[in-house]
Amino acid sequence: MEAASATVVPSRRRSEAVREFVSKYGLIAILLVLPVVYGAQDLSDDGNLTRLGNNLVEGLSNGAILALIALGYTLVYGIIELINFAHGEVFMLGSLAAAGLYGTFGLTPQTGTAGLIAGLACILVLAMLTSGTLNVMIERVAYRPLRNAPKLAPLITAVGMSFILQNVGILWIGASQKAVPDLIGSQEQLFEIVGLSISRGTVLAIAVTIPLVFLLTSFVARSRLGKAMRATAQDPEAARLMGINVDTTISLTFLLGGLMAGAAGLITALYQTSIWFFQGFSAGLYAFTAAVMGGIGNIRGAVLGGFIIGIVQGISDNRIGNDWTPAIVFIYLVIIMVFRPQGLIGEETREAG
Amino acid sequence: MSRVAKLRHDRRAGVVLAVAFVVAAALMPLFRPPLDGFTNDAILALAYVVMALGLNLVVGFAGLLDLGYVAFYAIGASVTGWWASDFYSSVNGEKGIHIGTSDFVSVLPGIHVNFLLLIVGAIILCAIAGALIGLPTLRLRGDYIAIVTLAFGEIIGRVFANGDELTVFGDNALSNGRQSISPIDQINLPVFGEFDSATDLRPYYWAVLALCLVVLFVNFRLRDSRLGRAWIALREDEVAAASMGVPLVKTKLLSYAAGGAFGGISGVFIGIFLTSVNANAFQFGFSIFILAMVILGGLGSIWGVVLGALALGFVNHWFIPDVLDGETVRGWLDSLGLEFTFSEVTFGVFGFILVLMMVLRPEGLLPERRHQLELAEAAGAPEEPVSVTYEARA
């Protein structure tokens, strides 16, 4: 979290400053490779950048979803230094719940605008609550009993939880991808800007994400509970001595992360118009990459990283091929973790030390 | 009885038990028909033992959580696809290359290499791959290592799954993509001749049992060697180990390489036994399947891992498909109105085992004594994050 990372950095030696400079701008340079290469290709082929622009727009909507999921990773890592491996599945189950609620609220593509907005707002809240509650329960069952165990123990239970929840998804909707009604006409063009068509899905993804991120940031920065979270992140023992209920605060962190994942779940169901038990696995790992890229434990970093990875995904899906996207994103993940584990705007953590 | 005498007595009892177990295992197929479902499951379970023992070197001994172990299965199995099938049918003017093959195989196109040489090839490739995967993780600790190895496992799985788009040595594809490479040559050993899994599974059973015994022996010797003790020291306290003169880089890389080599051996065997190699099997779930064996048996405990691998091997190939999805249980579920098969949720079962074991019995079914002590110590005295943080930052 911001406050935790804002500790005074002792003056570093010159060589370290050079290394810092090289790793930071080197990372930015590596990130620019894909857009620059394909931008140059477009310019020589078509004489304009429209294709790349459309990839970037698609990347922005992917990025909004990834940013919301990445927030869950970064909040949890910031407070208990655990990679909540099951977080992708929390998002997936939020998505399944949202799609299941379409029928409950009687929403179909024919529903009128007012009814659609009211219904979707209700579903958004319910999907968020589903994921949030689920995340709190996971923490209670799988992580809390292991708080004093060796560090790898909770990570192993996290992986186990992730598999359990994937299979809950299989029992719920079956093992194959399932189409859901396209309520908002997500691929329809809403308006055009400098020759780029902006679809309804993109606008929805951005319009839900930005206020949620704003709310979350101000909650963590301004409220009493947010202050308790930052204190616990900095030093759990001292926070306990100051009268903060550390267990409750950790549960609250999981709740917030889950709420964001639930919102991402609804957006995905609306935007992709299909749901799948396996969607959480890759989305979770991409979002984790995003969180590390921004600097894990850093809220703004997670959002920035989410949009960057979303754009990488958008370009790779369209230009290199869907099948290769995971490999491309994971190569980025390895590069970041090895050469700049503190991310673009983060502090060095204990892990990366 | 004095303490030393008691230890010696216990050890002798252990040896007798192990020998009895091995003899019983070796005689088992004689009481079964040549083509038998149980023998088939046992062969796969024993192949998993080899793999789990390999992962145990990395996770159990050296304490480096490797979530990308499927990479070595992928490489080992692909070695059989490359060098023991007609996949590269155009080599040598469509006459093929044959090294140590049976008369039947030696007229087929493609590259055909003897089983023993395949094993050597897989060991070399996997050891190199293991060291290469280990290299970037050297500066990292704990869960970051887990994520980087996971990423590598996924990258390698993807490369094989899309390998039909990649070409190597001219215009040969790296793999057959999502289609399998099949058939793979049968095992052909110098004295025993060529096996035939279509008529008799017993030779395969004895071969994999022998492989297991060799790997077990190597594991015990490794554990008690200078290197094995260095791994355990690394697991217990990296900083202390380094200051006692344990070379961190070499020790860690050797652990990845050795662990990878065992995975490759097992991959070769499984590829040949299933007579096909399919990139769809190279998924994260497989890494977790093997990890669950190690956790179930007990991290670092060789006999525990053997038990865990046999148990989960039979759960996967016999208990879930034949018992839980068998007619009796099916009938109960139908009467309750539940419409699902347990085969669909196999990985959920393994995930459940991971959570249950870590929460209730983190030391595993047959714990290693030293690891048990470490766990007790960790639970009794929580570390102080305060001092660690500031030391690390200063």
Check residue B380 and give its pLDDT: 60
pLDDT-derived band of residue A2, with 50, 70 and 90 as boundaries?
very low
- For residues A317 and B377, give the distance between their C-alpha atoms in angstroms, rounded to a whole number: 49
pLDDT-derived band of residue B366, with 50, 70 and 90 as boundaries?
confident
Check residue B143 and give its pLDDT: 81
Smallest CA–CA distance, residue B201 to chain A, in Å, is 33
Residues in chain A: 353
Is the per-residue pLDDT at A199 higher than 80? Answer: yes
**Angle of the B115-134 helix axis to the B142-161 helix axis, nearest 10:** 130
pLDDT-derived band of residue A185, with 50, 70 and 90 as boundaries?
confident
**CB atoms inside a 10 Å sphere around CB B54:** 30
* Alpha helices for A105-151 (secondary structure H): 113-138
Tell which of A152, A322, A329, A333 to mutate to test the B interface (max B CBs under 10 Å). Answer: A152
Check residue B178 and give its pLDDT: 82
Is the per-residue pLDDT at B346 higher than 50? Answer: yes
Residue A164 has its nearest CB partner, among B142, B352, B359, at B352
Chain A residues within 8 A of B141 when measuring between CB atoms = 351-353
**CB atoms inside a 10 Å sphere around CB B24:** 9
CB-CB under 8 Å, B378 with A150: yes
Beta strand B111-113 with B97-99 is parallel
Smallest CA–CA distance, residue B240 to chain A, in Å, is 17
Check residue B211 and give its pLDDT: 94
B295 close to B308: Cβ distance less than 8 angstroms: yes
CA distances from B381 to A79, A147, A148, A150, B164 (A): 21, 12, 8, 11, 54
Architecture of domain A2-339 in this structure = Orthogonal Bundle (1.10)
Check residue A70 and give its pLDDT: 96
Q: Is B245 exposed, middle or buried (0-12, 13-18, 19+ CB in 10 A)?
A: exposed
Q: Is the dihedral of CA A6, A11, A16, A17 positive or negative?
A: positive
Residue B351 has its nearest CB partner, among A82, A161, A288, at A161
| Radius of gyration (C-alpha) of chain A in whole angstroms | 20
Residues A285-323 pLDDT 10s: 999 999 988 888 889 999 999 999 999 999 999 888 888
Residue with the bigger pLDDT between A213 and A25: it is A213
Residues B25-53 pLDDT 10s: 999 888 888 888 899 999 999 999 999 99
Task: Give the mean pLDDT of chain A.
Answer: 88
pLDDT-derived band of residue B9, with 50, 70 and 90 as boundaries?
confident
Check residue A346 and give its pLDDT: 65
**Angle of the B284-297 helix axis to the B142-161 helix axis, nearest 10:** 140
Most confident listed range (A145-154, B49-58, B192-201) = B49-58
Residues 6+ positions from B306 with CB-CB distance below 8 Å:
B49, B52, B53, B212, B216, B297
Tokens of A128: 């968020």
Check residue A24 and give its pLDDT: 82
- For residues A158 and A87, give the distance between their C-alpha atoms in angstroms, rounded to a whole number: 9
pLDDT above 90: percentage of residues in chain B: 45
Q: What residue spans define the domains of chain A?
A: 2-339
CB-CB under 8 Å, B141 with A167: no
CA distances from A105 to A82, A115, A181, A263, B317 (A): 37, 10, 13, 17, 43
Check residue A13 and give its pLDDT: 73
Closest CA to A122 of A104, A146, A147, A109: A104
CATH class of B34-283: mainly alpha
Residues B128-141 pLDDT 10s: 999 999 998 888 87
Closest CA to A141 of B293, B356, B364, B296: B356
CB-CB under 8 Å, B146 with A83: yes
Beta strand B167-168 with B172-173 is antiparallel
Most confident listed range (A194-203, B61-70, B187-196) = B61-70
Return the minimum-mean-pLDDT range out of A140-144, A210-214, B32-36. Answer: B32-36
Q: Is A71 exposed, middle or buried (0-12, 13-18, 19+ CB in 10 A)?
A: buried
Check residue B387 and give its pLDDT: 39
Check residue A11 and give its pLDDT: 57
Closest CA to B189 of B81, B114, B106, B266: B114
Task: Give the mean pLDDT of chain B.
Answer: 87
Q: Is the dihedral of CA A337, A341, A345, A350 positive or negative?
A: positive
Cα A105 → chain centroid: 27
Check residue A3 and give its pLDDT: 45
Rounded to an integer, the average pLDDT of B298-326 is 91
Residue with the bigger pLDDT between B214 and A112: it is B214
Is the per-residue pLDDT at B232 higher than 80? Answer: yes
Rounded to an integer, the average pLDDT of A173-193 is 86
CB-CB under 8 Å, A161 with B355: yes
Residue with the bigger pLDDT between A257 and B95: it is A257
Residue A341 has its nearest CB partner, among B63, B140, B389, at B140
- For residues B87 and B182, give the distance between their C-alpha atoms in angstroms, rounded to a whole number: 8
Residues A227-241 pLDDT 10s: 999 999 989 999 999
Q: Which residue has the tokens 């039909």?
A: B164
Smallest CA–CA distance, residue B80 to chain A, in Å, is 24
pLDDT-derived band of residue B345, with 50, 70 and 90 as boundaries?
confident
Chain A residues within 8 A of B238 when measuring between CB atoms = none
Q: Strand (E) positions, chain B?
A: 97-99, 111-113, 167-168, 172-173, 188-189, 193-194
Residue A164 has its nearest CB partner, among B63, B140, B351, at B351
Residue with the bigger pLDDT between B393 and A235: it is A235
Chain B residues within 8 A of A331 when measuring between CB atoms = 151, 155
Check residue A9 and give its pLDDT: 52
Residues 6+ positions from B119 with CB-CB distance below 8 Å:
B265, B268
Check residue A211 and give its pLDDT: 95
Check residue A197 and give its pLDDT: 84
Residue A341 has its nearest CB partner, among B144, B154, B158, at B144
Closest CA to B140 of B34, B256, B281, B290: B256
Rounded to an integer, the average pLDDT of B263-289 is 92
Return the minimum-mean-pLDDT range out of A128-137, B13-22, B44-53, B151-160. Answer: B13-22
* Alpha helices for B198-276 (secondary structure H): 202-224, 226-236, 238-243, 248-274
The SS3 call for residue A207 is helix
pLDDT-derived band of residue B303, with 50, 70 and 90 as boundaries?
very high
pLDDT-derived band of residue A106, with 50, 70 and 90 as boundaries?
confident
**Angle of the A152-173 helix axis to the B346-360 helix axis, nearest 10:** 150
Q: What residue spans define the domains of chain B?
A: 34-283
pLDDT-derived band of residue A205, with 50, 70 and 90 as boundaries?
very high
Tokens of A165: 């929840």
Q: Which of residues 331-350 of B touch A (CB under 8 A)?
A: 340, 344-345, 347-348, 350
CB-CB under 8 Å, A170 with B348: yes
Rounded to an integer, the average pLDDT of B72-99 is 87
Q: Which residue has the tokens 């598999």?
A: A163
Residue with the bigger pLDDT between A341 and B7: it is A341
- For residues B257 and B134, give the distance between their C-alpha atoms in angstroms, rounded to a whole number: 8
Residue with the bigger pLDDT between B236 and A122: it is A122
A244 close to A189: Cβ distance less than 8 angstroms: no
Chain B residues within 8 A of A237 when measuring between CB atoms = 384-386
Rounded to an integer, the average pLDDT of A59-82 is 93
Rounded to an integer, the average pLDDT of A166-190 is 88
Check residue B152 and give its pLDDT: 93
- For residues B18 and B300, give the distance between their C-alpha atoms in angstroms, rounded to a whole number: 18
Check residue B388 and give its pLDDT: 40
Rounded to an integer, the average pLDDT of A269-297 is 91
Check residue B127 and give its pLDDT: 96
Rounded to an integer, the average pLDDT of B90-95 is 80
- C-alpha neighbours within 13 Å on the C-beta side of residue B137: 30
Chain B residues within 8 A of A149 when measuring between CB atoms = 358, 362, 375, 378-379
Is the per-residue pLDDT at A10 higher than 60? Answer: no
Flag whether the pTM goes above 0.95: no
Check residue B1 and give its pLDDT: 58
**Angle of the A200-222 helix axis to the A246-272 helix axis, nearest 10:** 170
- Please report the ipTM that was assigned to this predicted complex: 0.86
Residue of chain A whose Cα is closest to the Cα of B138: A338
Rounded to an integer, the average pLDDT of A276-290 is 92
